[in-house]
Protein backbone atom coordinates (compact mmCIF):
# COMPACT_ATOMS: atom_id res chain seq x y z
CA UNK A 1 0.00 0.00 0.00
CA UNK A 2 2.90 2.38 0.69
CA UNK A 3 4.03 2.21 -2.94
CA UNK A 4 0.53 2.99 -4.17
CA UNK A 5 -0.02 5.86 -1.72
CA UNK A 6 3.37 7.39 -2.44
CA UNK A 7 2.98 6.91 -6.21
CA UNK A 8 -0.39 8.64 -6.15
CA UNK A 9 1.04 11.43 -4.01
CA UNK A 10 4.09 12.08 -6.22
CA UNK A 11 2.16 11.69 -9.48
CA UNK A 12 4.00 8.61 -10.73
CA UNK A 13 0.70 6.66 -10.59
CA UNK A 14 -2.29 8.10 -12.41
CA UNK A 15 -5.48 7.55 -10.38
CA UNK A 16 -7.48 6.86 -13.54
CA UNK A 17 -5.22 3.87 -14.27
CA UNK A 18 -6.53 2.05 -11.18
CA UNK A 19 -9.57 -0.23 -11.09
CA UNK A 20 -12.64 1.56 -9.71
CA UNK A 21 -13.25 1.37 -5.98
CA UNK A 22 -16.44 -0.59 -5.35
CA UNK A 23 -18.90 1.31 -3.15
CA UNK A 24 -22.33 0.59 -1.69
CA UNK A 25 -24.89 2.08 0.68
CA UNK A 26 -25.47 0.43 4.04
CA UNK A 27 -28.90 -0.13 5.56
CA UNK A 28 -28.79 3.29 7.20
CA UNK A 29 -27.79 5.03 3.98
CA UNK A 30 -24.09 5.27 4.87
CA UNK A 31 -21.57 4.96 2.05
CA UNK A 32 -19.10 2.06 2.33
CA UNK A 33 -16.17 0.81 0.24
CA UNK A 34 -15.14 -2.73 -0.61
CA UNK A 35 -11.61 -1.49 -1.42
CA UNK A 36 -10.42 0.22 1.75
CA UNK A 37 -6.69 -0.04 1.08
CA UNK A 38 -6.97 1.73 -2.26
CA UNK A 39 -9.40 4.23 -0.77
CA UNK A 40 -6.99 5.04 2.05
CA UNK A 41 -4.07 5.41 -0.39
CA UNK A 42 -6.11 7.90 -2.41
CA UNK A 43 -7.10 9.81 0.71
CA UNK A 44 -3.47 9.90 1.86
CA UNK A 45 -2.40 11.26 -1.53
CA UNK A 46 -5.30 13.72 -1.72
CA UNK A 47 -6.46 12.48 -5.13
CA UNK A 48 -9.85 11.47 -6.51
CA UNK A 49 -10.13 7.83 -7.47
CA UNK A 50 -12.50 6.17 -9.90
CA UNK A 51 -15.42 4.39 -8.24
CA UNK A 52 -18.28 2.12 -9.22
CA UNK A 53 -21.37 0.83 -7.42
CA UNK A 54 -20.83 -2.72 -6.14
CA UNK A 55 -23.23 -5.43 -7.17
CA UNK A 56 -25.24 -7.38 -4.59
CA UNK A 57 -23.10 -10.46 -5.24
CA UNK A 58 -19.85 -8.49 -4.70
CA UNK A 59 -21.18 -7.20 -1.39
CA UNK A 60 -22.34 -10.67 -0.31
CA UNK A 61 -18.92 -12.21 -1.04
CA UNK A 62 -17.15 -9.89 1.40
CA UNK A 63 -16.72 -10.75 5.07
CA UNK A 64 -16.81 -7.28 6.59
CA UNK A 65 -16.28 -6.42 10.22
CA UNK A 66 -17.07 -2.83 11.17
CA UNK A 67 -15.38 -0.71 13.80
CA UNK A 68 -16.91 2.70 14.58
CA UNK A 69 -19.89 1.78 12.40
CA UNK A 70 -17.58 1.57 9.39
CA UNK A 71 -16.42 5.18 9.78
CA UNK A 72 -12.71 4.32 10.08
CA UNK A 73 -10.21 1.66 9.12
CA UNK A 74 -7.26 0.23 10.98
CA UNK A 75 -3.92 -0.01 9.18
CA UNK A 76 -1.77 -2.92 10.33
CA UNK A 77 1.99 -2.48 10.52
CA UNK A 78 4.22 0.46 11.25
CA UNK A 79 5.81 3.01 8.97
CA UNK A 80 3.90 2.07 5.80
CA UNK A 81 3.77 5.74 4.83
CA UNK A 82 7.52 6.35 4.63
CA UNK A 83 9.71 5.91 1.58
CA UNK A 84 12.59 4.52 3.45
Element (H, E) at 21: strand 21-25
Query: What pLDDT is recorded for position 5?
Result: 93
User: What does the pLDDT read at residue 64?
Assistant: 59
pTM comes to 0.70
Query: Contact, 33 vs 41, CB < 8 A?
Result: no
Say yes or no to pLDDT of 12 above 50: yes
Specify the pLDDT at position 71: 57
In DSSP notation, 24-83 reads EE-TTS-EEES-HHHHHHHHHHT----EEEPPHHHHHH-----SGGGT-----SS-TT--
What would the pLDDT profile of 27-75 be if each residue is shown by its tens digit? 888 888 999 889 999 999 999 999 999 999 998 887 655 555 555 555 5
Domain locations along the chain: 2-64
2-64: which CATH topology? 3.90.1530
pLDDT over 80 (residue 82): no
Amino acid sequence: MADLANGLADGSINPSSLPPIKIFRGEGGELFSLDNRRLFAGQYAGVKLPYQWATKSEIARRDMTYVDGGQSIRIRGEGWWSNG
